[in-house]
Amino acid sequence: MRQSQLFTKTRREAPADEVSKNAILLTRAGFIHKELAGVYSYLPLGWRVINKIKRVVSEEMEKLGSSEILMSTLQNKETWEKTDRWDDEKVDVWFKSKLVNGAEIGFGWSHEEPIAEMMKSHVASFRDLPVAVHQFQNKLRNEVRAKSGIMRGREFLMKDMYYFALTDELNTAFYNAVIDAYLKVFERVGLGETTYVTSASGGVFTDKFSHEFQTLTDAGEDVIYVNEIKRIALNEEVFNEKTLSEMGLKESDFVKKKAAEVGNIFNFGTKKSEELGLYVQDADGEKKPVHLSSYGIGISRLMGTIVEVCSDEKGIVWPKEIAPFQVHLILLGDKAQEFANEVYQVLTDHKIEVLYDDRDARAGEKFADADLIGIPTRVVIGEKNLDSKMLEVKERGSEDVRMLTLEHLIDELKR
């Protein structure tokens, strides 16, 4: 994409109404636009990042055998009454409205009930199981206090996956497979080092613990205790003598850290299926409640967390897999324009995603913008590159400048 066609503008100064690093950098670089407190729109660069993250998540979910769907945002009151979660006293984040005829509807803050309800139309026999489905869906939650930029919003993009199985064994096996898949996702988006599977309080539906995926960052809302050697972590809510002795560990084995919950997984057993009436017949013709588990990754929160973790004083440093573009091609001066155009053409012909700064702007401004936007590989072309046709290549976050031929660069990027 030619940067001259990018309508967003970068800003020198931080917005006065944001404090969190993710919101400041994403706003300054033109990735997001705030509509309301906790409600953000995604601009071209931001939307590209979201889609990159979605692609990584999709790939890992599909490896688990899950099919992508999209459920509605408007939800049926009756479905939620079956599990007694329509009441504002029980769920305090509901946005609700009314149809013209007066019927109440809810805006989806979660989809566990609707999806289990929907499955009743498609699952009747043990032969229909197991089933895994996932979606990328905007959740609406009437949070009392939105904060931390895109990390805790009232409208946010979430990947939620659900698994339906006849037996607890299958359900547990899938649950464990998802833990591995999630770790792979966080590794691919650049948070492998800083993200821990964390045991947390399970609530009434689950066994002993639920599991969260916590990324270490001061921008997070949670406090966890981390054992860096064993790479395990405990949420502070379960960090007590009882838990520690069960695990055979001491308090001194852990370090207290702030963290952001980027993913969570729950095993509901059969409770929700029983409440909603999701049963199948087993091989003996007996009616059995379906085992259900659910798996969430907050996509927009994940993007915010990545910015918190992967940035420096100049701007964002996007991990390669989720950067909005692979290459930021910067043209300096108009004498080299023809050569730069050619390089842009060849790179895009090789399916390399390039943001081409073809603007009539000075070098300093272009470099500052490039640092802020944070594309991994920067290629500079100016008059002094014309004779040799060598490209000046620098990785974001490094000071090393290398001179490469175009062929060499393409070869490197394709690897």
Partner RNA sequence: CGGGAUGUAGUACAGCGGUAGUAUACACGAUUCGGGUUCGUGAGACGGGAGUUCAAUUCUCCCCAUCCCGACCA
Site residues for RNA per CB under 7 A: 9-20, 34, 36-38, 92, 110, 112, 143-148, 152, 203, 205, 221, 264, 266, 268, 272, 294, 296, 314, 332-333, 362-365, 367-372, 380-385, 392, 394
Give dist(CA 161, CA 296) in Å, integer: 6
Could you tell me the smallest distance in angstroms from the CB atom of residue 101 to RNA? 28
The single residue listed with the structure tokens 């701007």 is: 315
Contact 282, 289 (CB under 8 A): no
Question: Nearer to RNA by C-beta: 187 or 222?
Answer: 222
Q: Taking Cα atoms as reference points, which of 404, 100, 128, 150 lies closest to residue 281?
A: 128
Tokens of 57: 């998540």
Q: How far apart are CA 346 and CA 181, in angstroms?
A: 36
Which residue's CB is nearer to RNA, number 52 or number 323?
323
The DSSP secondary-structure symbol of 84 reads T
H or E stretch covering 312? strand 311-312
Query: Would you call 16 helix, strand, or coil by DSSP?
Result: coil
Q: Which of 79, 269, 61 is nearest to 165 (CA)?
A: 269
Shortest distance, CB of residue 37 to RNA, whole angstroms? 3
When the beta carbons of 52 and 111 are compared against RNA, the nearer one is: 111
Q: How far is the CB of 382 from RNA (least distance, A)?
A: 2
In angstroms, give the least distance from the CB of 388 to RNA: 10
Question: How many other CB atoms are there within 10 angstroms of residue 121's CB atom?
Answer: 7
For residues 107 and 223, give the distance between their C-alpha atoms in angstroms, rounded to a whole number. Answer: 30
Tell me whether residue 383 or residue 412 sits nearer to RNA (CB atom). Answer: 383
Report the interhelical angle of 299-309 vs 44-63 (nearest 10°). 110
**Closest distance to RNA from the beta carbon of 35 (Å):** 8
Query: What is the nearest approach in angstroms of RNA to the Cβ of residue 14?
Result: 6
Rounded Cα–Cα distance for residues 308 and 262 (Å): 13
Question: Which residue do the tokens 């640092």 mark?
Answer: 371
CA distance 292 to 122: 15
Distance CA 171, CA 90 (A): 27
Nearest to 401 by CA among 338, 346, 330: 330
CB of 31 to RNA, least distance (A): 14
Q: Quote the strand ranges of 248-289, DSSP E.
A: 255-269, 279-281, 287-289
Contact between 360 and 227 (Cβ < 8 Å): no
Instruction: Tell me the backbone φ, ψ of residue 229, rounded to 5 degrees.
Output: -75, -50
Nearest distance from residue 48's CB to RNA, in Å? 20
In this structure, what are the phi and psi dihedrals at residue 29, rounded to the nearest 5 degrees?
Answer: -85, -5
Least distance CB 138 / RNA (angstroms): 14
Q: Which is nearer to RNA, 95 or 205 (CB)?
A: 205
Nearer to RNA (CB atom), residue 190 or residue 220:
220
Q: How far is the CB of 141 from RNA (least distance, A)?
A: 8
Kindly tell me which of 126 and 305 has the beta carbon lying closer to RNA: 305
Question: Which is closer to RNA, CB of 37 or CB of 255?
Answer: 37
- For the bound state, the minimum distance from the C-beta of residue 301 to RNA, rounded and expressed in Å, comes to 10
Comparison of 4 and 245: residue with beta carbon closer to RNA: 4
Residues 366/359, Cβ–Cβ less than 8 Å: yes
CA distance 164 to 125: 12
Q: With respect to RNA, which residue has the nearer C-beta, 88 or 193?
A: 88
